[in-house]
Structure 1
């Protein structure tokens, strides 16, 4: 993605002079970026991964706040409470029976908050933000050619890593896929996931 952005900027001499692209840890933005000089910040389908470690949540939002100018905009979309609930439940059940449910929960790579949590975190706990609009939307999403198994192996890789034995891990994949066939296979064709998206438009005060 960064390579594509650099290429696009290089085709525009004006953009090439003012654009820079870096790969950074969003929870530990450098002081140089937290200088209150940015007009906008956005995140798309990433914060449910970024916010998974509880101890890093506040510093993530502080970094975004400190990077924005007063009145600057933070727009984001992420998985919201209830996102892929059928998948998450199946994986927790299958993995949990083998390694224990606490260990399975520890391997869960996602954090799906609701509007209440997000509003309190941004406006009260961290402060300096005003949420102008926030909403959750149920958005069923069709799987790509890899189907449920492809999605599970990619998105649920961290979950599956809780199982050390490779053969047992493959058994888990088959079992989860067998369960999800009942709820994800559409009579109209293809596999579908119950995505729930949390979207917000926020201003720095």
Structure 2
């Protein structure tokens, strides 16, 4: 996975929209009592807990030690495992894999799909949502323009934002039959008013921020805000132009 430095406290306090939007995806998962379910990229564990409330036996998995530590403290009765989605295995297969807002952080997408497919039983469900083609394009463009204006090299944040066809083909190649796939816009207001976009870069835009010398960081963020303000600041709140890819598949 990409080397983002996760702040579990900032995630919960200022970016709760990540797991709040994930609740809608749970209706497609439809967890049943007694099922074994793997929550890939569980973060601080809130959706893992919601799955467990169905009576399913759920394991939360995340690559971030900070996220796993926070999840274990919040939900000590649940099982949480620190592991990389491109290199993991379990002894017993799962009835379903669920993942919300995680897989766009995985540049080695095919390795992740191989591991997830191997972790599912035959007939097992695969229910995921993450950033799709064009995700946050306005914010990314503003960041890249700002780097150029400051005389700094361009940055490729390394996110994986596939099209429907690209990801569906990848799943099919590895034995996951796609039943439903859609790409849709989800303009998302950020918390904390006019501070919201800076919080977003602190949480998710580390690749850009790390590329800027410390003495230039305030100017970089001001310039990003200047470029994005006309279309993305509404009634005192920043809006990120998220575009999500939602997929339901089944292991053949």
TM-score normalised by the chain length of structure 1? 0.81
Supply the distance in 2 between the matched residues of 1:114 and 1:191 (Cα, whole angstroms). 26
* Larger relative contact order, structure 1 or 2 (CA cutoff 8 Å, min sep 6): 1
Higher Rg: 1
Per the alignment, residue 16 of structure 1 pairs with none
Q: Higher helix fraction: Structure 1 or Structure 2?
A: 1
TM-score normalised by the chain length of structure 2? 0.67
Per the alignment, residue 197 of structure 1 pairs with 244
Per the alignment, residue 75 of structure 1 pairs with 127
Matches within 5 A, 1:145-160: 145=192, 146-160=195-209
Supply the distance in 1 between the matched residues of 2:72 and 2:217 (Cα, whole angstroms). 37
Q: How far off its partner does 1:169 sit?
A: 2.4
Q: Would you say the 8 A contact 2:71–2:80 is kept in 1?
A: no
Tell me, what secondary structure is at the counterpart of 1:21?
Answer: strand
For structure 1, which runs of at least 5 residues remain unmatched after alignment?
Answer: 11-18
Q: How far off its partner does 1:133 sit?
A: 0.2
Per the alignment, residue 65 of structure 1 pairs with 117
Per the alignment, residue 46 of structure 1 pairs with 102
Moved more, 139-148 or 66-75: 139-148
Q: Would you say the 8 A contact 1:90–1:176 is kept in 2?
A: yes
**1:143 is aligned to 2:190:** yes
Tell me, what secondary structure is at the counterpart of 2:161?
Answer: coil
Paired residue total? 182
Q: How far off its partner does 1:9 sit?
A: 6.2
Report Cα offsets for 1:52-98 as digits up to 9, x if no partner: 2xxx2221100000000000011001011111110011112222453
